[in-house]
Amino acid sequence: MWMLSFVPDALLHIVVIGIMIAGIGIYTLSFLTRFVPPLIPYSGIARIIGTILLVGGIYFYGSYETEMSWRDKVAELEAKVAVSEKKSAEANIKIQTVVREKIKYVKETRVVIQEHIKNVETKIDSMCKVAPEAVDILNEAAATPGAKK
């Protein structure tokens, strides 16, 4: 069935309708052959062939309609995927912007904390006693970036 995807839809539709019409035509002609004496032996065969073509045409028409409905659904879903990809790209840009801002804030905070530590460095003595300002600065450095007291 996948090979039918290479055949243009309009041509496939014409062939399916043609098979149904041929089946109807041959079936109808099978009744008219009763009135022509040389064709009387072929009326039963014509009726069988007409019936087979008609049933086959109806079956192919149903298959054709099913295939077209699936193709429509695929096209619809491809359109939705394209919209989702566009929204995803926009969301990624927003996320990257937020991440850059947070990284920038963390780096700026780290520089400020390092400056505070250098300023309080003189208050730390050789006995390893830490001044309360140093503890506050280290606690501030360990705090979540952006969290305010």
91-101 tens-digit pLDDT: 999 999 999 99
Q: pTM to 2 decimals?
A: 0.57
Closest CA to 64 of 125, 4, 137, 128: 4
Closest CA to 123 of 112, 114, 115, 132: 132
Closest CA to 61 of 17, 25, 22: 17
CB 46 within 8 A of CB 55: no
Query: Could you say which residues of the chain have pLDDT below 50?
Result: none
CA 80 to each of CA 41, 42, 88, 93: distance values in angstroms, whole numbers, following the listed order: 60, 56, 12, 20
39-55 pLDDT, tens digit per residue, is 888 889 999 999 999 99
H helix runs in the chain, sequence order: 9-32, 43-120, 132-142
